[in-house]
């Protein structure tokens, strides 16, 4: 009896201390506008249900309470932002803000790679990785884009005049391409739909997306006991097994070359392949750093793969869908590709891509309408004033990019798809943080040039080969957003060949 009394007393004491220690947070939160709350659960019930329901509720709440408001997810204070002036303060001040705890969900897959790392480790790895995205290195990836485009075009020709979910095709293309450019590994998912690596990567991505949508799975202990938690472990074992084996082999080859007195900095590549992957360049750049382990390198390769395949799938799928709905814009993009590449069957070159200005504007406008990442989380480490409000230390900040990109102050008639919003003279008139598809500030996306070059290449290739029409009305799409924006009912389009008698143009 005494033991129970002591435990109850201890619990009450801890609860009172917790409540008292957060009095400043509660006070500052009370000064922020926001929807009504319920005892204990706060606003959590608004985010229970399907991913589609969560997306609709989030959109409704943001549209009602923006540009700054608070939510209570149980005891967790969330401050939502959608004004570029506030967002700039968050993204430029690493002293006050760090990556949100949601990124911890990615640690089983990515470990302490660049996207989840912080502090000195992040600075060190960012400095190490930055040179791997130099334009001369990106140019070497173009033949890989071309080879995988050839396979994609051949597959798409077999679907002519059918309604297809283009996201399924883009996902396999993206995985094949990102694996080859990241590791020199060819899973051949487009040719072999039962590739263990491809299947495992798709499964992990799917589980990660679902977990973000289900608040009751945020606890690691509970999640690990679920079916999804067990499936995640099995799939990660496959992914990490393959990537670790590749990294070890490359590092052994590097060690052999060094023992033979070969100047690693001058050697073209590690091993038998002359096309250098991201991993090759990373190992070259880290040749003098003995602190990097196999796991360190593997985590950066996995991070590159994670950030590159789902985002590319989303961007290209939504772009093709929107071009199908806007025939005049599609025609202008097609004519630009023709004017740059010509009517011959020659390959698209790296230099061609820099000339595809309108194609690039189409991609940027898609990122405005359907940003690949619609919400950016940050943790507030210290109290900071933000215009008429003060954000308390310990709150979670959510940057709603979907709302930011549709702010009529910066994008008049925001629902309309209009690539000319991204003409230089129009960009110069806007707040620099009004459009942030790749985040912004010191922790912006390091691979954005890679992503845009690849997207321009494949979009130009598809435009050369196919005329696009939509498979459904725009309002019939059911967008959802966990980590990456997708559509719950797929992204249906119809393709018709432009060159029936010729081979694919890539």
Annotated binding-site ranges = 445
- Report the C-alpha gap between 269 and 247 in whole angstroms: 14
How does DSSP classify residue 484? S
Give the span between the Cα atoms of 470 and 505, in whole angstroms.
22
- Dihedral in degrees, nearest 10, Cα atoms 364, 369, 374, 378: 60
| Strand extents, DSSP E, 59-199 | 68-73, 76-81, 97-99, 163-165
What is the phi/psi pair of residue 431, to 5°?
A: -60, 135
Q: What angle separates helix 142-157 from helix 166-183, to the nearest 10 degrees?
A: 150
Helix (H) or strand (E) holding 443: none
Rg over CA atoms, the chain: 24
Query: Could you give the count of Cα atoms lying within 13 Å of 176 in the half-sphere of its Cβ?
Result: 23
Q: Contact 382/95 with Cβ under 8 angstroms?
A: yes
Q: Strands 163-165, 492-497: parallel, antiparallel or unpaired by DSSP?
A: antiparallel
The residue assigned the tokens 């597959």 is: 155
Gap between the terminal Cα atoms of the chain: 79
> For strand 76-81 and strand 396-400, is the pairing parallel, antiparallel, or unpaired?
parallel
Measured between alpha carbons, how far is 99 from 498 in angstroms, rounded to an integer? 46
Q: Cα angle at 461 between 144 and 327, to 5 degrees?
A: 155
**Residues paired with 397 in a beta bridge:** 79, 378
Binding residue positions for heme: 445
**CA-CA distance, 282 to 356, in Å (whole number)?**
30
Token digits of residue 179: 């694996």
Q: Mention every residue, 6+ apart, whose C-beta is less than 8 A from residue 391.
A: 28, 79, 380, 383, 384, 385, 397
CB atoms within 10 A of CB 307: 24
């Amino acid at each position: 009896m005494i033991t129970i009394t002591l435990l109850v007393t201890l619990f009450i004491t801890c609860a009172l201390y917790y409540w008292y220690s957060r009095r400043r947070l509660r006070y500052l939160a009370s000064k922020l506008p926001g929807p009504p709350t319920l005892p204990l659960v706060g606003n959590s019930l608004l985010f229970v249900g399907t991913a589609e329901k969560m997306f609709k509720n989030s959109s409704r709440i943001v549209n009602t309470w923006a540009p700054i408001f608070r939510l209570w997810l149980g005891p967790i204070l969330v401050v939502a932002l959608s004004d570029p002036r506030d967002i700039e303060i968050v993204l430029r001040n690493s002293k006050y803000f760090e990556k949100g705890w949601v990124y911890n969900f990615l640690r089983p897959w990515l470990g302490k790679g660049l996207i989840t790392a912080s502090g000195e480790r992040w600075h060190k790895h960012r400095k190490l990785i930055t040179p791997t995205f130099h334009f001369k290195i990106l140019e070497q990836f173009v033949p890989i884009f071309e080879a995988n485009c050839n396979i994609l075009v051949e597959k798409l020709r077999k679907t002519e005049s059918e309604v297809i979910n283009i996201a399924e095709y883009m996902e396999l293309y993206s995985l094949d391409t990102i694996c080859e450019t990241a590791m020199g590994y060819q899973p051949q998912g487009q040719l072999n739909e039962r590739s263990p690596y491809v299947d495992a990567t798709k499964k992990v991505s799917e589980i990660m997306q679902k977990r973000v949508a289900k608040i009751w799975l945020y606890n690691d202990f509970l999640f690990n006991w679920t079916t999804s938690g067990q499936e995640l472990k099995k799939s990660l074992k496959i992914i990490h097994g393959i990537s670790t084996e590749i990294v070890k082999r490359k590092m052994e080859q590097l060690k052999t070359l060094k023992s033979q007195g070969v100047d690693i900095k001058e050697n073209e590549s590690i091993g038998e392949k002359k096309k250098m992957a991201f991993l090759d360049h990373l190992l070259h750049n880290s040749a003098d750093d003995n602190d990097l382990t196999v796991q360190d390198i593997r985590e950066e390769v996995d991070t590159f793969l994670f950030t590159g395949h789902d985002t590319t799938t989303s961007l290209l799928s939504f772009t093709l869908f929107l071009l199908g709905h806007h025939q005049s814009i599609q025609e202008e993009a097609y004519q630009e590709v023709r004017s740059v590449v010509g009517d011959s069957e020659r390959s698209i070159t790296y230099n061609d891509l820099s000339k595809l200005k309108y194609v690039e504007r189409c991609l940027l406008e898609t990122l405005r309408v359907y940003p690949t990442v619609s919400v950016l989380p940050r943790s507030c480490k210290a109290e900071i004033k933000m215009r008429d409000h003060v954000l308390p230390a310990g709150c979670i900040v959510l940057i709603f990019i979907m709302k930011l990109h549709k702010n009529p102050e910066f994008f008049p008639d925001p629902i309309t798809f209009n690539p000319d919003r991204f003409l230089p003279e129009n960009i110069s008139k806007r707040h620099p943080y009004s459009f942030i598809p790749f985040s912004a500030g010191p922790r912006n996306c390091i691979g954005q040039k890679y992503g845009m070059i690849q997207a321009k290449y494949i979009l130009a290739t598809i435009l050369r080969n196919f005329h696009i029409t939509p498979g459904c009305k725009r309002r019939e799409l059911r967008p959802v957003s966990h980590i990456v924006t997708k559509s719950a009912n797929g992204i249906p389009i119809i393709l018709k060949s432009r060159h029936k008698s010729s081979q694919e143009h890539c």
